[in-house]
Amino acid sequence: MVNFENVSYAVIGAGNGGLAMAGYLALRGYSVNLYNRSREKLESLISYPVITLSGSVEGKGVLNLVTSDIGEAIQNTDIIMVTVPATGHYRLAKAMAPYLKDGQIIVLNPGRTGGALEVYETIRKSGCDKDIVVAEAQTFIYACRATGPNSARIFSVKNEVALAAIPATSTRRVIRLLSGAYPQFTPARDVIETSLNNFGAIFHPAPTLLNSGHIERGQAFEYYLEGITPSIGQMLERLDAERMKVARALGVKAVSALEWLEESYGAKGDSIYEAIQNNPAYKGLTAPKGLDTRYIYEDVPCSLVPIASIAEHLGIETPAIDTIIRLANMITGRNFREEGRTVDKLGLKGLSVVEIHQLAQTGEVKKTAVHEQEVVA
């Protein structure tokens, strides 16, 4: 039986988070395979499979394998740590499905809103009948940036990150296996809880869109400390209040963004703006270099749209969230409501609150005769 001391990992994605995570796991002595869809991005690591870390974690991690072949990457690994943007989860699930083996665990870092539900459903629909677990982290464990093709800087490591699995009965086993590398992971009730406590939805799209002029001019500034002003902070509080209202309607333990900043970073304040200004972990984190950023193209369709869709399903109004989605649509020329995760795409359409949690707990929903009569009516 696998234990946390001899777990082998595949890290999927060689971006900011992927390089940091792969380097850290290898530095800790784990066997790590690193995958990226584009081989070109991996050339330097293929030639020299070592990642140098700086910042909160320093050292060199030697990788076991670097590849652009997904089957090769996940072969003979226990845990598959997915770090690609949430917009790639569906494609990745379809690509992995033919190669998955019984007992493997997929962890989305993070899942954003509905990530584990989407990946689990996609794998099953792709014909994979293996005994696998799909888990999602509430947020990414590091604040980090790639500093080169073979290096990354970890600015800070979060004190605590909630995690849940499908089926939820596997959550504690997943956390136990991850604990040797990441003792910060704590169990959530289910993936509905991790999805609705998605703080990327609050901290990414709105500040980016409301600072779009500065970003397009190429003006360098610190994303959190300078980009989130008192007025933008007020907008974030409105977004957060709507997210929490949806979470409460689903019976989810809702953590406010203000509480999360204190729990994750020890940053305190009477408002989101004040807490961010009191967070030294955000110092040095610069704004995106352009508007073609995951803060819009990932977090709007995969964070805000599913929250808005679930809210509509529950009869809850979300004017602040709707405003940011419309603003993103107008600025980009895209229709993120059509592209994004909806209750239909997540397999939640027509489900009651009880049935939504049943799906998250067990991976399936058992329809009752009463429910079927209600749906027909």
- Give the angle subtended at the CA of 196 by the CAs of 193 and 202, to the nearest 5°: 145
The one catalytic residue among 78, 190, 240, 299: 299
Residues 91, 108: Cα–Cα separation, whole Å: 14
**278 Cβ partners below 8 Å, 6+ apart?**
267, 268, 269
Query: Contact 376/350 with Cβ under 8 angstroms?
Result: no
Is 231 strand, coil or helix? helix
Q: Which residues contact 50 (CB under 8 A, 6 or more apart)?
A: 60, 61, 62, 63, 150
Q: Are 300 and 336 in contact (CB under 8 A)?
A: yes
Q: What is the DSSP string of 63-131?
A: -SEEES-HHHHHTT-SEEEE-S-GGGHHHHHHHHGGG--TT-EEEES---SSHHHHHHHHHHHTT--S-
Catalytic annotation, pick one of 204, 240, 313, 357: 204
| Residue in the block written with tokens 């300078």 | 226
Taking Cα atoms as reference points, which of 80, 69, 68 lies closest to residue 32?
80
> Among 189, 204, 157, which Cα is nearest to 27's?
157
Burial 170-179 (b: 16+ CB within 10 A, else e): bbeebbebbe
| Closest to 138 measured CA to CA, from 174, 155, 113, 121 | 113
CB atoms within 10 A of CB 283: 12
Contact (Cβ atoms closer than 8 angstroms) between residue 295 and residue 227: no
Q: Is 299 a catalytic residue?
A: yes
Residues with catalytic function: 204, 299
